[in-house]
Amino acid sequence: MNNFDFFLALEELEKSSKLDKELIISSIEAGIAAALKKETGESRAIAIKMNPEKGELRYFAYKTVVEDEAEIDKYEISLEDALKIKNDAKVGDIIGEDVPAGDVSRIAAQTATQVVLQRLNDARKELAHEEMSKREGELVQAIVRRVESTAAFVEIVGTQTEAIMPKRDQVYGEKLSVGDKIKVYVKKVKINNRGQQQVIVSRSDAGFVRKLFEIEVPEIRSNLVKIKNIVRDAGTRTKIAVYSDDPNVDSTGACIGQKGVRVNAIVSELNGEKVDVILYSNDPTEYITRALGHVKVIMVKLNQVENTAKVVVPDDKLSLAIGKRGQNAKLAMQLTGYKIDVKAYSDIVANLEEKIELDKELNVHNKFN
């Protein structure tokens, strides 16, 4: 390869790899330095001097002149030794020489190539990690590449990055097939024990629904409507509490949309998962009542010290308030932060009547003793 070819290759590599030219050059310098060490046994720093217009390319091996010989490193030379090479050398000077390309043997050149490729590969990994880290907490398009018993593996569109979706981050009952195009939530980007990037994505995380609302509801994107909290039983039901600092803004209406168009779009993406949009309130009693959904609440008795609430509902609404497998009450607890005990009205009345009868019996007993 002549020097002009080198410059063309350098420019093409910069474009295709998205790596900075200075980083590529420093990788080449490190490669040549490794080659020279293999050839001569001496460690020396290498600088590349380039003139693209003239097609000139020179390698320059150098050491920096330092005064204290006791603390010298492999890329430094003592002032005493430097004076043997250059009569007027002084501390801080660069002592070096041109390295003709022909001085590097084939084996040493292979070493240089390996170093360069490794440096560039590491840089690509670091760049990919930085780019994916910026997308943490975002919703992205992905293609399912393989499905295993413990996880699904997807390719994030436009990045050639493979991500893992563990079983716990999949929606219960949702069947994934190779080739499916799906939306996923970038939950975590980390470096594993082997130094490899690992991208964890999810479809069950509450953040997945949060991002859908940000996409569908302009008022949320503009921060006019704010999400107080969001909880989810993936595949079945989500509860989201919203509010606005502007009293003239209908927070729940904005999220639901005219004739339910906005929330229906989200439900469709969630394959029919129910979504309850709740207006947040600073009053815990009111907030708990709303969190339970369209259930008539007779009474809420709070214990704010223990963060508990006893909720009384009509007998025919008890199962609705609790929900299938206790789901509705459980999500209401997660949403509000209160441990909620839902009771039927008849149970409370029965207990009151028993207490009254017991009190009567105790009074009679005390009168005759």
Q: How far apart are the first and last CA of the chain?
A: 115
C-alpha span between 310 and 301 (Å, rounded): 5
What residue ranges do the domains of the chain occupy? Answer: 3-132, 135-202, 206-280, 289-369
> Which pair of tokens denotes residue 46?
């290498």
Neighbours of 230 (CB within 10 A): 20
C-alpha span between 226 and 335 (Å, rounded): 15
- Least confident range of 101-115, 204-218, 303-317, 339-353: 101-115
C-alpha span between 232 and 165 (Å, rounded): 18
pLDDT of 355 higher than 50: yes
Residue of 148 and 98 predicted with greater confidence? 148
- Tokens 């001097």: give the residue: 49
Each residue of 125-175: pLDDT tens digit? 666 667 777 888 899 999 999 999 999 999 998 877 889 999 999 998 899
Q: What's the fold here for domain 3-132?
A: N Utilization Substance Protein A; Chain:P; domain 4 (3.30.1480)
pLDDT of 332 higher than 90: yes
Contact predicate 238/211, CB 8 Å: no
- The answer regarding whether domain 289-369 maps to CATH 3.30.9.10 reads no
Q: Per mean pLDDT, which of 27-41, 132-146, 265-279 is the most reliable?
A: 265-279
The reply to whether domains 206-280 and 289-369 share a CATH topology is yes
Tell me the pairing of strands 161-166 and 151-156: antiparallel
pLDDT at residue 368, rounded to an integer: 39
Q: Which CATH architecture has domain 206-280?
A: 2-Layer Sandwich (3.30)
Q: What percent of the chain has pLDDT over 90?
A: 46
pLDDT at residue 365, rounded to an integer: 45
pLDDT of 87 higher than 70: yes
Each residue of 286-316: pLDDT tens digit? 999 999 998 889 889 999 899 999 999 999 9
pLDDT of 60 higher than 80: no
C-alpha span between 233 and 210 (Å, rounded): 14
The CATH code belonging to domain 135-202 is 2.40.50.140
Binned at pLDDT 50, 70 and 90, residue 265 comes out as very high
